[in-house]
Chain A
Amino acid sequence: MTVTAATTAEDVPTPVSVTMTKALNQALRDSLSEDENVLVFGEDVGRLGGVFRVTEGLRKEFGPERVWDSPLAESGIVGTAIGMAMAGMRPVVEMQFDAYAYPAFEQIVSHVAKMRNRTKGKVSLPLTIRIPYAGDIGGVEHHSDSSEAYWCSTPGLTVVTPSNPADAYSLLRESIASEDPVIFMEPKSRYWMKDELSLPVQTAPMDRAQVVRVGSDVTLLAYGPTVRTALAAAEEGAEHGLSIEVIDLRSLSPFDDETVSASVRKTSRAAIIHEAAQFGGYGAEVAARVTEANFTHLSAPILRITGFDVPYPSPKLEEYFLPTAERILDALESWDWEL
């Protein structure tokens, strides 16, 4: 990866307010500038700049041969991206909404994930599939799915998700530069989240989790949209004398066992928080592997605070479905704290 770090004092730009959308946009712009093999295409990503404006201005800047609107067919988008990657390109494609990635499921699972293996490493597919995901935006049905478990249970895929603008920039740059194909999941409800930062920025390596709040009583494991929720719970918990550590997983596959185990061994209690349904969800894998590695250090079973095992609800009901800080703190109370 070649994110240029500012070296001298006068090179350091003044931090400005940057949304996640803007950070992603800049990551694409910088990748397009640095590597002529980077291509951006998908539904409405050209003239419109994407329905979330992540690709805004890129077609104008780089031309329709680098950034263009494709026909409306997700399997076609991913399938042709595979062919382009075989020809040495680094395509970055957008699935307009989480649930609209499903037509591409076969191409992703049967080819994107397996090409390198079935060619004994002769053909890598350095392509990035951007998937806006999760809810809390008042979306109508099929616009708020969290599909991470499907991708994470597929060997051959790398799955990352940023929770903040700085990571959005850094993780996307690193994903595009990766030789392995990456499912890049963008939390829709955090697109408009702002942070003070100066771009380019390089955060932790893309396969590492980050401790985003230090605590000693409990470890909350969160990613994408639920990091902010976990931080809110930690804030509120502190008012009640509970010291909560929050880890932003960032990389869902691979999973950073080292960072998580170190935290759990310190706190002896952990909960995983996600929007997706609980049964067979990503939290089940996290609870199992963290327990396997740290059982004797745990004082309580690892909890999963997640969406219900029902289809993602309508806008009027999503507030009852989504994990909240209150629900997290209630769940933590269910433990026997004497142990």
Chain B
Amino acid sequence: MTIDVPTSHRSLPQLQPVSFIGADGQPTDVPTDGLRIPSDRTLLGLYQKMVQVRRFEAQVTHLTRQGRLATYPSAAGQEAIEVGATTALAPGDWLFPTYRDSASLLTRGVPVTEILSAFRGDWHCGFDPNEYHTSPAATPLATQTLHATGYAMAAKLKGEDACTLTFLGDGASSEGDTHEAFNFASVWQTPTVFVLANNQYAISTPLREQSNATMLADRAAGYGMPGLRVDGNDIAAVFAAVTAALERARNGEGPTLIECLTYRMESHTNSDDPTKYRDAEEVEHWKQFDPIDRLEKHLRTAGVLDDASAAEITASAEELATSVRDAMNTDAEVDPSELFAYVYANPRANLATQQEKLEAELATAAQS
């Protein structure tokens, strides 16, 4: 006699990451896991956004080195994930980003000065989450995965159409909150897409010291959720996978985990020293998988991009860079009194007393 157990379909993701456009810009023969390549028209739009995002990351990193920002975690090299996943969202969906996802905020339409508010040293997230349907970027790792799950649960309970998408990294995949979010989302069948940008490093710790799993996407199976792995530097694959996952979510079929294989081309932040934990050859090796170069080759071959239109796209990215420089060349205006304004909805006497003291100090300082 054996113990009765429920039997249900269970499958592990295919080992080879789904990839439509190879590093050489040519079509691959990798099994597509049921996904369809986006149209060249869609890909051209994604290309334009990636060029913008890369210029943005380079400009902000440069300004950070000049001391204009307190710190900046760049997503250079991960543009396909940032742009591909974010673009797949409907306007009514909610995005739950992390500190490395400024590019997704840019893609979502958040103005530059608002994106960079916290990195410039201000005390708030900079933008109105309700206006952009985007949560403030989470710094405590993996915590946002639960917010995305909860938001999606509320949408489901209210019978609303909204899905949620959250980014996390290979480092965050070790956090307990990640596991709790995968489990809650799957048990509750929430319309949530987990986009795991596996960029090989958590600051300095390499993936092999982070996880002994064959691949991080395998974890989905343990939670009864579909998981798949895509080439995170092929935006066609990222966009197709996220679009399909959102469609499933919208149809009431629950959450999906998408592991996107990529590489963090920059240091963790400007205060990091990657020479201590990885060699230049490794970074060089990954350059050949660049997401923008390969898409450019593909689009040129397809005849939807030529020198003139490429130059226009570059020029528009330069305009963005100029606007970033202009915005960051003035010091952020900060009002110390605002420290007290938003802590509580219900006013507090002890905060009012402290605010009065601070304002008196400021008045004295202004007089001397």
- Report which A residues bind B (CB closer than 8 A): 39, 65, 70-71, 73, 75-76, 78-89, 103, 106-107, 110-111, 115-124, 155-156, 158, 178-180, 207, 254-255, 257
Contacts and interface: CB of A to CB of B under 8 A. Distances in A.
Contact of A119 (B136, B143, B183): B136
Given A81-B150, A110-B143, 5 more contacts: A71-B187, A79-B149, A88-B158, A107-B146, A117-B342
Nearest to A107: B143
B181 interface: yes
B152 to A, nearest CB: 7
A87 B341 CA distance: 23
B318 interface: no
Contacts of A117: 123-124, 342-343
B158 A87 contact: yes
B346 A79 contact: no
Contacts of A88: 154, 158
A170 B115 CA distance: 42
A66 to B, nearest CB: 8
B350 interface: yes
Closest 3 A-B residue pairs measured CB to CB? A83-B150, A79-B146, A80-B150
Interface string B152-187: 111101100010100000000000110011011001
Nearest to B162: A87
Interface of B: 94, 96, 118, 123-125, 128-130, 135-136, 138, 140, 143, 145-155, 157-158, 162, 164, 176-177, 180-181, 183-184, 187, 338, 341-346, 348-350
Contacts of B180: 71, 73, 75-76, 79
B149 A123 contact: no
Contacts of A79: 143, 145-147, 149-150, 177, 180-181
B129 A119 contact: yes
Interface residues of B: mostly helix, strand, loop or mixed? helix
11 contacts: A65-B157, A73-B180, A76-B183, A83-B154, A87-B162, A106-B177, A116-B342, A117-B343, A119-B342, A207-B346, A254-B348
Contacts, number: 145
B349 A83 contact: no
A280 B177 CA distance: 29
A70 B150 CA distance: 12
Contacts of B184: 70-71, 73, 76, 80
Contacts of B130: 122-123
Contact of B149 (A80, A115, A179, A257): A80
B181 A179 contact: no
B344 A156 contact: yes
A120 B342 contact: yes
A120 B118 CA distance: 12
Contacts of A84: 150-151, 153-154
A43 to B, nearest CB: 12
Contact of B181 (A76, A78, A110, A124): A76
A222 to B, nearest CB: 21
Task: Please indicate which of the listed interface residues B152, B176, B345 has the most CB atoms of chain A within 10 Å of its own CB.
Answer: B345
Nearest to A76: B180
B302 to A, nearest CB: 40
B183 A116 contact: no
A253 to B, nearest CB: 9
Contacts of A123: 129-130, 136
Contacts of B148: 83
Contacts of B344: 116, 156, 158, 180
Contacts of A119: 124-125, 128-129, 136, 342
Contacts of A81: 150
Task: Please indicate which of the listed interface residues A75, A88, A124, A155 has the most CB atoms of chain B within 10 Å of its own CB.
Answer: A75
Contacts of A73: 176, 180, 183-184
Contacts of B147: 79-80, 82-83, 86, 111
